[in-house]
Structure 1
Amino acid sequence: MRLAGLDFETTGVDPETDRIVSGAVVARGGGLPTYRRKWIADPGIEIPPGATAVHGITTQYAREEGRPAAEVVQEVADAVVAAVSAGCPLVVMNAPFDLTLLDRELRRHGLPPLTDRCFPYVLDPRVLDKQVSRRSGSRTLTDLARHYVVPLDGAHSADADALAACAVVWKIANRYKWLARLPLPRLHALQIEWAATQQDSLREYFARTPGKEHLSLGVRLDWPMIPAPMMAGGR
């Protein structure tokens, strides 16, 4: 099956308030050539040095080479809708971050949210790996790529990360073949349950660990996206 992938590099780690700096939508497999499309956005705010240290994009570069954020998020959403309409599951590493970020950016610019346009079946390599592999340790994309022997050239480049995430999902499905036999709607529904259990376990760990108790308050159980806050008037 052909897999579509989505990834963003951002101004920070809060999907409610941070902005897209670069994004990519890719597709691979299914007997067709690999497709990739990448965007650079001017987020309209300063890019903190810490974020630049991760993805290498400075405020000056984004202003000079990036396109208006509203145009970028619209085109990213269009590309996702096209991939989903073509029958592709959407691979998103740590989906609640990227999909929430895209939702908030669309709403920020007065554009229709993704949930009004399509319902993607999402495959999250982090959730899948945590369910099938009980090993301890970090589960960043770099860690997963190493564990599943997937090349990751140019880590923290949105298109490279999106393609690597697709490859990791493919490797997981081939190692744990019972996953590949599940219909996509069922696998999507199971990930909602698995992610909630995984996050609840993380919340409990923080709550009982001295010095980390405060972190438990920020752990969300939502997957694959954090619902948008209700606006005044019920909107």
Structure 2
Amino acid sequence: MTELLQALDSIAAQSEDTTLADTRILGFDTETTGTRAGSDAICSATLVLRDPAKGHDGDVVGEWLMNPHRPVSPGASRVNGFTDEFLQANGGEPVELLEAIASVIAEAQNRRVPLLAYNAPFDVHMLEGDLARWDLKPLHERLNDGLLVIDPLVIDRKVSHRKGKRTLTDTTFYYGVEPHGDFHDATADTIAAVDLVAPIARLHPDAAALRLDELMDWQRAAHAEWKESFNRWLEARGRRPIREDWFGKDQD
């Protein structure tokens, strides 16, 4: 954590007209005991601070392994490989680690360094659920302005118009991103998601030119458009539509 905070302290706040292609990024990913924010919990997390001018060589990485004080569901354990016994023996206590994660994110946000996560609402809501569970200050109360997020999943759905799955694995393969480690490891997934920005920006100039001050509204609109289309597909097959929005304005 100290290295990340020192790195953030050394940079000035980014301008609102900084573009997606040029922005510094704080990548974020979690591995969890399950999928229900507030009931399940984070068991590992990674933050990666990326300067696009330096690429991988300039990355500053923070990694946390914690005892979630919740059982890992069988499904989650099959994906991330964590067991209750391993986390109890090797994981740190959540209060200290969650406070560290939230502090770094807030420090970045207050310098207009956006938080990047693939399917970002999941990781942010898991963090908010854990902060509430341990009576820690909510993320939104730590920020000078609204939450600033980059979600490569939302951006790719809008700009690529491709068929097939949109998992992180499939999306990185589509954009030619080589993984650094195994998927479903928080650090490997964080770096892979951060690595998507450069090829997306290179292939889609309109996305590359998005400014930080318009990024959230653009992604909300992109998600709403995708949701409407996807719900038509679901309803035509007699399936229940999805209702979740992508970070409503009251969540900024």
Same fold (TM > 0.5): yes
Which residue identity is paired with 1:142?
A: T
CA separation in 2, counterparts of 1:13 and 1:199?
20
1:8-157 superposed matches below 5 A: 8-32=30-54, 33-118=58-143, 119-152=146-179, 153-157=181-185
2:222 to 194, 197, 204: 194
- Stretches of structure 1 that go unaligned for 5 or more consecutive residues are 229-235
| Partner secondary structure for residue 24 of structure 1 | strand
Inter-partner Cα distance in structure 2 for 1:41 and 1:227: 30
Indicate how the Cα distance of structure 1 residues 85 and 172 shifts in structure 2: closer, same or farther if over 3 A, else same.
Answer: same
Please state whether the residue corresponding to 1:70 is helix, strand or coil.
Answer: helix
Distance change >3 Å, CA 6–CA 225, structure 1 → 2: farther
- Between the aligned partners of 1:79 and 1:93, the Cα distance in structure 2 is 19
Q: Structure 1, residues 69-116: CA drift from partner, whole Å, max 9, x if none?
A: 222221111111122233312111101111111111111111111111
Q: Is contact 2:45–2:64 with CA below 8 Å preserved after alignment?
A: yes
Task: Note if contact 1:22-1:41 (Cα within 8 Å) is conserved in structure 2.
Answer: yes
Counterparts in 2 of 1:226 and 1:155: CA distance versus 1, 3 Å: farther
| TM-score under structure 1 length normalisation | 0.88
1:184-229 Cα distance to aligned partner (Å, 9 max, x none): 121221101111221233233222214xx24x2xx2332137978x
* SS of 2:163 mapped into structure 1: coil
Runs of 4+ in 1 over 4 A off after TM superposition: 225-228
**Amino acid aligned to 2:61:** R
5+ residue gaps in structure 2? 1-22
> Deviation of residue 24 (structure 1)?
0.8
1:166 aligns with 2:194: yes
Higher relative contact order (Cα pairs below 8 Å, separated by 6+ residues)? 2
* Residue identity in the other structure for 1:97: F
Q: What residue number does 2:29 align with? A: 7
Q: CA deviation at 1:11?
A: 1.0
RMSD (Å), alpha carbons: 1.9
Residues 37-57 of structure 1: CA deviation (Å, up to 9, x unaligned): 111111111112221111111
Q: Which has the higher strand share?
A: 1
* Alpha carbons 2:112, 2:148 under 8 Å: kept: no
2: CA distance between counterparts of 1:16 and 1:181?
36
Deviation, 1:27, is 1.2
Distance 2:213 2:185 in 1: 30
Q: 1:225 to 1:62 in 2, by over 3 A?
A: farther
Secondary structure of 1:23's partner? strand
How far off is 1:64 after superposition? 0.7
